[in-house]
Amino acid sequence: YPWDKSSLKSMPVDLQQFEKLDAYALKVNVKNSVEELVTALLKQARTDLEKVRAIWMWICHHIEYDVVGYHNKSQLSSKPIDVLQTGKSICEGYAELFEQMCSIAGIQCMKLSGYSKGYRYKMGQTFTGDSDHAWNAVYLDGRWHLLDSTWGSGAVDDSFTKFTFRYNEFYFLTHPALFINNHFPDNSNWQLLKPTLTLKDFENNMLHNSNFYTLGLLTAEPQTAVIRTVNGKASVSVDCRSATLFKFELKGTDEHGLMTLKKHGMKLDIYPQKTGSHKLQIFAKPSKASEDVYNCVLEYVVECESVDKAMRFPKGLHQPVGPSWFTERQGFLRPSHPDPVIHTNDGRCSLTFTLGKDISVFALLHCDNSSLTEDKRRQHIMQIHRGNQIELKIHLPHAGNFVLKIYAKKKSDPGNYDYVFNYLITCLNTEVKWPAFPQVYSKWAEDYEILEPLSGLLPANRNVQFKLKMHGIAKVLVRADDTHPLTQSRGCWEGTCNTSGCGEVFVMVQENANHSFYSHVLKYEVESQ
């Protein structure tokens, strides 16, 4: 149902104005009679809304769900006085106590019953027989409003043996367009919606629990609980109000999907690697939250009829994939590749970013069944800095699916690099076999640049042209079998070197003309004869 998205409530409510009233209502301790309790509660309440609020707060914090009574209904009384004196009940008792307290306070209130998507609910189930839940409607400001004090008071555990008080503001005067998500009244007029929803739609519709709305999420696609894959793929997207972080689990793991963060939400493509039914859960947390606690906001069943084997991702792929508002916050601006997957046919690609102040970058290439060590794979990435721009040049050692992992730290920080984000790089061309870039030593400054040769493996018995962009140094030598000086012209050091009779070639620099000391900056291998 469309709702104006400005409020989760069915009328304007300022929770800050309720702070004193709420605190007062929690302290009231009267158990003799319902009348006495209401009289005590109303001492601080002037308007009808405040009266309803005081009654609501008291019930939500003083009546616990009776898990024993639920399993043995013959022993159970839902009479308001019994509920008050035992301090426990099931939904029926909560709703009857609420109705009687409102009636004493002079407020019109109805007890409603119907089907609910509560603790026993299984995704995609149908509803038949008697109603399974009770809640209330109250008349305020010339209109009816909905609330559920049972669900406002707390939660029972999965085994239905223990209740925990955990106040939930969401179920107080909930907007009808949101209440219909998990409450279907016996009498459809009490949906307070036009047109009313059919039971079939209620059964098929996606269940958004209260976390979904309280975290500022707005809509989710698809809107049905069961998703069928098309050519091995299923997609889910969520729209939200503010920056939110997401996680997902398909059958308990996040391996078989590609999740990308959007400015106002996220998009997820799922590629199950087995046919059949799979449970998909989506979790979220506000980006400002200090704790690392994600709440489950959506659950789907993914029905997979065929598997797309080509979309088997490397184990090292970390969700979410690709750049986003989150990586921008970490100082990676204006990415040349906004998408999470980079396809390369010739095995080469180049990514650029504008970097925030004082950021040092470290990149790794990961591949599941590569014979190369991590250090060797790292030599297939070259960093080039031009002012506040960074370019990452990548020459893949072979075809396959690679993860490009990007880490960063403050230059002024002596500590370790922190992981920021990753891309998936795919190359299907089996003829691809690029050599590594030359090995770089610590004296190679961040803003130096190799123009040629880019390959770290030089041909044997050849004259090789060198062209290097370096500044602030006195001399540059290339040492092979003998030593070749490079000459400086227009900011570049250029010259040739012959690779005959040697296995390695080094580039060395003299930083100060007054000293005869040279530092190694680059090392090339030479092909064996």
Q: What is the mean pLDDT of residues 349-366?
A: 94
| Residues 260 and 134 reside in one and the same domain | no
Domain termination residue (choose one: 427, 451, 485): 427
In a domain, 311, yes or no: no
Domain termination residue (choose one: 369, 401, 427): 427
| Residues 276 and 417 reside in one and the same domain | no
Residue burial 126-149, b: 16+ Cβ < 10 Å; e: rest: ebeeeebbbbbbbebeeebbbbbb
Query: Using CA atoms, how far apart are residues 35 and 55, in angstroms rounded to an integer?
Result: 12
The CA-based dihedral angle spanning residues 200, 206, 211, 217, taken in that order and rounded to the nearest 10 degrees? -120
Within 8 A by CB and 6+ apart from 59, the residues are 94, 97, 98, 101, 149, 152, 153
In a domain, 189, yes or no: yes
| Residues 193 and 226 reside in one and the same domain | no
Query: Using CA atoms, how far apart are residues 334 and 351, in angstroms rounded to an integer?
Result: 11
pLDDT of residue 289: 80
| Residues 94 and 162 reside in one and the same domain | yes
Three-class SS state of 209: coil
In a domain, 317, yes or no: no
| Residues 44 and 146 reside in one and the same domain | yes
Stated pTM of the model: 0.83
pLDDT of 136 > 90? The answer is yes
Are the CB atoms for 232 and 304 separated by under 8 Å? yes
| Model confidence pLDDT, tens digit, residues 368-416 | 877 888 888 999 999 999 999 999 999 999 999 999 999 999 988 888 9
pLDDT band (50, 70, 90) for residue 37 = very high
pLDDT of residue 3: 66
pLDDT of residue 516: 81
| Residues 84 and 28 reside in one and the same domain | yes
Q: What is the mean pLDDT of residues 294-318?
A: 92
| Residues 272 and 161 reside in one and the same domain | no
| Residues 59 and 169 reside in one and the same domain | yes
In a domain, 281, yes or no: yes
| Model confidence pLDDT, tens digit, residues 321-348 | 999 999 999 999 999 999 999 999 999 9
pLDDT of 252 > 70? The answer is yes
The boundaries of the domain holding residue 100 are 15-197
| Closest C-alpha to 273, from 247, 225, 234, 322 | 234
Q: What is the mean pLDDT of residues 33-60?
A: 97
pLDDT of 298 > 80? The answer is yes
| Residues 349 and 294 reside in one and the same domain | no
Q: List the CATH number of the domain containing 97.
A: 3.10.620.30
| Residues 25 and 77 reside in one and the same domain | yes
pLDDT of residue 312: 87
| Model confidence pLDDT, tens digit, residues 18-34 | 999 999 999 999 999 99
In a domain, 225, yes or no: yes
Total domains in the chain come to 4
Q: List the CATH number of the domain containing 444.
A: 2.60.40.10
Element (H, E) at 103: helix 91-104
| Model confidence pLDDT, tens digit, residues 452-491 | 999 999 999 999 999 999 988 899 999 998 899 999 988 8
pLDDT of residue 74: 78
Domain termination residue (choose one: 427, 458, 479): 427
| Residues 237 and 259 reside in one and the same domain | yes
Residues designated as active site:
91, 133, 148
In a domain, 310, yes or no: no
| Residues 227 and 258 reside in one and the same domain | yes
